[in-house]
Amino acid sequence: MNGLMTGQARSARRLLAFSAAALAVLDLLVKFVVLQALGHGSHGSALDFGLLNVRVAYNTGVSFGLGASLPPWTVAAATAVLVVVLAVFLFRSAPQRTAPSRAGAALLLGGALGNLVDRLDGAGVVDYLHTGWFPTFNLADVFVVAGAGLLILGSVTGPAKKGT
């Protein structure tokens, strides 16, 4: 039985790693396509879809531009530390999580990784989804918010899985 639990734990962690990596790659791919289509400048072209527009902007800070006045390496280093701490927590707890919580963990970690990798060039995170009434954001941000919501939902709606 202990071997089965260990195998289940390993499987849960592998699925989390694969899912988070795939979501990060998807985010980076979408950013690449947007940059190729619209250019790298924030004054470039835009695609107008009414309530939601696609236009390129760079966020050198974190959420809502916080920390934008700090040197890029400081923001990248702090973000990297937070992502590592988050990853360790999510990987250790993955086997005990409910299915919605596991999906949330993958979304949260995938979004965080996508934005971290994007930040490493020093130019800031590429944001491209613009509403006019909310700060410009990207797919990784959607993943982070949806992931946090699913983690909370999974934590309050069902018992944790048994085993490690």
List 27, 48, 121, 141, catalytic entry:
141
Q: Is residue 90 part of a domain?
A: yes
CA-CA distance, 14 to 76, in Å (whole number)? 26
How many structural domains compose the chain? 1
**DSSP alpha helix (H) spans, the chain:** 2-38, 72-93, 99-119, 139-157
**Phi/psi at 84 (nearest 5 deg)?**
-65, -45
Q: Is 127 a catalytic residue?
A: yes
Question: So what's the pLDDT on residue 108?
Answer: 98
Residue 162, domain member (yes or no) = no
Per the annotation, the verdict on 118 as an active-site residue is no
Q: What is the mean pLDDT of the chain?
A: 89
Question: pLDDT tens digits for 38-55?
Answer: 987 656 678 888 899 999
pTM for the model stands at: 0.87
> Alpha-carbon distance 136 to 65, whole Å?
10
Residue 164 in any domain: the answer is no
**What is the Cα–Cα distance from 107 to 21, expressed in whole angstroms?**
10
Q: What is the pLDDT of residues 88-145, one digit of tens each?
A: 999 999 999 999 999 999 999 999 999 999 999 988 999 999 998 999 999 999 999 9
Is 33 inside a domain boundary?
yes
Annotated catalytic residue, options 27, 48, 121, 127: 127
Q: What range does the domain containing 104 cover?
A: 2-157
Identify whether 145 is part of a domain: yes
